[in-house]
Amino acid sequence: MADLTSFIARLPKTELHVHHVGSASPRIVSELASRHPGTVPSDPDALRDFFAFRDFAHFIEVYLAVVDLIRTPEDVRLLTYEVAREMAEGQQVRYAELTCTPHTSVLTGIPIEAFTEAIEDARVAAERDFGLVLRWIYDIPGELGVPGADATLGYVLDHAPDSLVALGLGGPEIGVPRPQFQRHFDAARAAGLHSLPHAGETTGPQTIWDALELLGAERIGHGTSAAQDPALLAHLAEARVPLEVCPSSNVATRAVASLEEHPIRAFRDAGVLVTVNSDDPPMFGTTLNREYAIAADLLDLDERGLADLSLTALDASYASDDVRARVRAEVEAYVAETGAAGASGPA
């Protein structure tokens, strides 16, 4: 893996399933904690211990602690810009669709106008400073039900920046049926946005069917349980609906028992488009580079296969044509530079 690790570290990448608050590293949290002294330690060494993943309950504890530190538009701007820095400099991400949950910030007292201005200011600065193109997915917090969805739809329809590409749906799946959000996704799609809900991570294949048939899903976040339904796999493959696969996250949340049992191979073998993503990377003790290394192991990929994995994510993205062309050219130039063998093209 040593040679592949080096190859992955410099491979230009696209990320499609990564969360805004969930990407706050100990370094970023340290700066936020120094602004708002309290229950979260600001010492970097203490924070590394605080972040060391133990179980899913601990992940929720860390996530909520970080949410509590995002109290002002300046905090939102800092978080966004520094997350972009780490994606670009540490993971060689060139394009990302970052999932934000604006309703969480509005509930803490940040007006939606100020939230939007903060993420947009950070987005423009990140592209200028790091060459990373960011686009937004506004996420319905599923645990807040229809009221949370109503509020999020209002932000999408009345306060959307031009860089917003999609409406998403996150939070717990158990006890949060997808059909109740059909009208929200209908309205967002009518406004020209894409439908990108999470589905089938901790529930069965029916949740994925609901996302496809009722919410008009164009990609599926996680989709882990699709492997249980051959008809669903065949449909995903035929309709070319990509899955946003997050292997380490799926193990951490116990959606799958172990990496060795992850269904990513079944997806690939069924002809389903697979993208690999990091979800909430520091909180799950991972990086996008590590997720690519895991995929290389599970799918028996060489350098060319890893490059094609990156291009599959690019093809599944909602990047503009000029961004797609630029990132594709960068991936192919890197392949040529490193001498990776094999025919080029999307997976």
SS3 content of the chain, % helix, strand, coil (to 5): 60, 15, 30
CA distance 231 to 239: 12
> At a CB cut-off of 8 Å and minimum separation 6, what does 47 contact?
26, 29, 30, 33, 40, 41
> At a CB cut-off of 8 Å and minimum separation 6, what does 17 contact?
97, 99, 221, 222, 244, 246, 275, 277, 278, 279
Angle at 55 between CA 59 and CA 277, to 5 degrees: 60
> What letter represents residue 224's amino acid?
T
Work out the number of other CB atoms within 10 angstroms of the CB of residue 160.
Answer: 18
CA distance 184 to 202: 22
Work out the number of other CB atoms within 10 angstroms of the CB of residue 108.
Answer: 14
C-alpha separations of 45 from 4, 225, 287 in Å: 30, 38, 19
DSSP labels, 143-204:
GGHHHHHHHHHHHHHHS--TTEEEEEEES--TT--GGGGHHHHHHHHHTT-EEEEEESSSS-
Count of residues in the chain: 347
Q: What are phi and psi of 131, to 5 degrees?
A: 75, 20
Query: Any catalytic annotation for residue 201?
Result: yes
Q: Which of 201, 218, 291, 303 is catalytic?
A: 201
Where in the sequence numbering do the catalytic residues fall? 201
